């Protein structure tokens, strides 16, 4: 759920603006832990799906997740959708990116047939969607019955965390963002978007409401800094 004070076009322009420095900023600000989160989550997504699944990366960005899927499942058909064109352009420069079919697309109106995917993956994207119920219903539509989704995200914490919310997100993260990308505003948006997003429990309830019957969540970092929700 995005605040009406942050138009979707502004968010898209923000990601387009920082695309060339996005990966470096992620590595610096997470001390590389984001790679571990991604590997852990994608391993759970792909477990038991067979050798050649058809997988969507929603909010694919610079394709780190899509490329991880393609590396783990060389016979998979991997699709990456994102509303920020420059992020996808940056991702297509990476080795192996020819394995991923990319599409500039709105997560609230996906340009795919119903039931076409065996699984869908999204990392740190759904927090940026204006109409979250509609987007999750779209994800339910394009993933076949019995298919699986995995959502890696920064959910709104159950209670305020002095270090992460009061110090790191509010002060240190925008400073690091400015030093690495030259764009402090983009990294002030991150904690603001977390504060107005749903809690993990609220998000799990939404997935059940749009038709996912098996929903499980877990924290991948202390204090719920990053969490994973898997649903089928």
Split into its structural domains, the chain has a count of 1
Residue 177 domain-assigned (yes or no): no
Residue 62 domain-assigned (yes or no): yes
Tell me: the pLDDT tens digits for 77-118?
999 999 999 999 999 999 999 999 999 999 999 999 999 999
Residue 79's CATH number? 3.40.50.150
Tell me: the pLDDT tens digits for 8-32?
668 899 899 999 988 888 787 777 7
- In this prediction, what percent of the chain has a pLDDT beyond 70? 90
Residue 14 domain-assigned (yes or no): no
Tell me: the pLDDT tens digits for 196-222?
899 999 999 999 999 999 999 999 876
Residue 188 domain-assigned (yes or no): no
Could you list the residue range(s) of the whole structural domain that residue 101 is in?
31-156+198-231
Average pLDDT, rounded, for the chain: 89
Q: In what order do the strands lie in the sheet with 143-153?
A: 100-104, 77-82, 54-58, 117-123, 143-153, 227-231, 215-219
Residue 21 domain-assigned (yes or no): no
- Confidence band, pLDDT 50/70/90 cuts, at residue 165: low
């Amino acid at each position: 759920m995005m605040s009406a004070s942050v138009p979707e076009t502004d968010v898209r322009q923000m990601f387009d603006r920082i695309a060339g420095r996005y990966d470096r900023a992620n590595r610096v600000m997470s001390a590389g832990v984001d790679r571990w989160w991604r590997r852990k989550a994608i391993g759970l997504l792909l477990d038991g799906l067979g050798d050649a699944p058809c997988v969507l990366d929603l909010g694919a960005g610079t394709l780190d997740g899509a490329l991880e899927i393609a590396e783990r499942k060389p016979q998979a058909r991997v699709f990456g959708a994102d509303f920020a064109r420059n992020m996808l352009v940056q991702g297509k420069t990476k080795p192996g990116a020819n394995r991923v079919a990319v599409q500039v697309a709105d997560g609230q109106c996906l340009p795919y047939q119903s039931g076409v995917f065996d699984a869908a993956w999204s990392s740190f994207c759904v927090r940026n969607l204006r109409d979250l119920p509609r987007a999750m219903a779209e994800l339910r539509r394009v993933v076949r019955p019995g298919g699986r989704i995995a959502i890696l995200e920064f959910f709104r914490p159950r209670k305020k965390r002095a270090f992460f919310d009061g110090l790191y997100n509010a002060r240190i993260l925008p400073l690091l963002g400015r030093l690495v990308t030259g764009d402090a505003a983009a990294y002030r948006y991150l904690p603001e978007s977390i504060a107005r997003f749903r809690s993990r429990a609220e998000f799990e309830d939404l997935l059940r409401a749009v038709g996912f019957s098996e929903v499980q969540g877990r924290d991948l970092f202390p204090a719920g800094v990053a969490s994973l929700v898997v649903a089928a």
